[in-house]
Amino acid sequence: MGCHFVGWAYLSLAEQAAWLQAIGSVLAIFVAIVLAEWGRRRDQRTRAMESARRGRSVALVVLPEVVRWKDGLKKLSDAISEHGLQHALADDQNLWGSLPFGVPIDVSEKIDGLPDLGAGGTSLQNAIYLSHSLRSREQEIMSKLRGADKDAVHSNALIERYTSDICRLDELVSKALDQLESLFQASAAQSDRECNELGSGNNTNKACKTFSFARHMGL
């Protein structure tokens, strides 16, 4: 039996109503899917923006401490590279008591907020873990440096690994600092994009950039 097209006018009112109901149901399902997806993406964007704002707020607190942490590690790493671990420590008798292995207080207090820092937070978490590891081996290494261990090969291996971990900690903190600074650079760039439509070189544009940057910073 062949198939043939039946015009809408040839359908009974009941059939037309059934078709309209079926089409309406399909459209309703499609609209519901679209709205649900739109809502999901909107919520994702909102959560991402809130997380970014929280991250920048945390970064404002920890950034100065991370800078000081990096400076201390850089000083120690340079001394180790030039003189070796034992001589680097001997150059400054107070250095061992103030080695920059301890996690800065402001960083420790904001540790729950590190995930909001994105890649910078991950680098800081890795740095904190390595810092604790260095502190836990501190006394053992001091004993090796004083020559208390007669197994020179074993002592040298431990000292070499410890030295390598110090350099790695320096790299992690430097990387975290760069990533934290990039949060603010991204905010400034976004502010510029949002205000470019107002034109350049006028007070309205400057005010817009100031307000927009503050909004992105979560201030």
pTM of the model: 0.62
Given this model, what pLDDT does residue 188 score?
58
Local confidence band at 117 (pLDDT 50, 70, 90 cut-offs): confident
Distance CA 197, CA 182 (A): 24
Minimum mean pLDDT among 40-49, 79-88, 163-172, 197-206: which range?
197-206
* Residue indicated by tokens 């927009």: 212
Given this model, what pLDDT does residue 212 score?
46
Given this model, what pLDDT does residue 216 score?
45
Q: Residue 137: what residue type?
A: R
CB atoms under 10 Å from CB of 96, counted, come to 14
Outline where the chain has alpha helix (H). Answer: 13-83, 85-90, 105-109, 119-136, 138-145, 152-195, 203-217
Hey, where are the domains in the chain? 20-217
Tokens of 133: 């590891």
Contact residues for 134 (Cβ-Cβ < 8 A; gap 6+): 101, 162, 165, 166, 169
Distance CA 102, CA 108 (A): 10
Given this model, what pLDDT does residue 158 score?
83
Q: Is the pLDDT of residue 123 over 60?
A: yes
- What would the mean pLDDT of 36-50 be, rounded to a whole number? 85
Distance CA 110, CA 133 (A): 20
94: DSSP letter: T
Distance CA 140, CA 133 (A): 12
- Specify whether the CB–CB gap between 63 and 179 falls below 8 A: no
Portion of the chain with pLDDT greater than 90, in percent: 12
Distance CA 114, CA 204 (A): 36
What is the greatest pairwise CA distance in the chain?
104
Closest CA to 73 of 176, 201, 168: 168
Q: Is the pLDDT of residue 80 over 70?
A: yes
HSE of 127, CA atoms in CB hemisphere, 13 A = 29
* Residue indicated by tokens 């097209």: 5
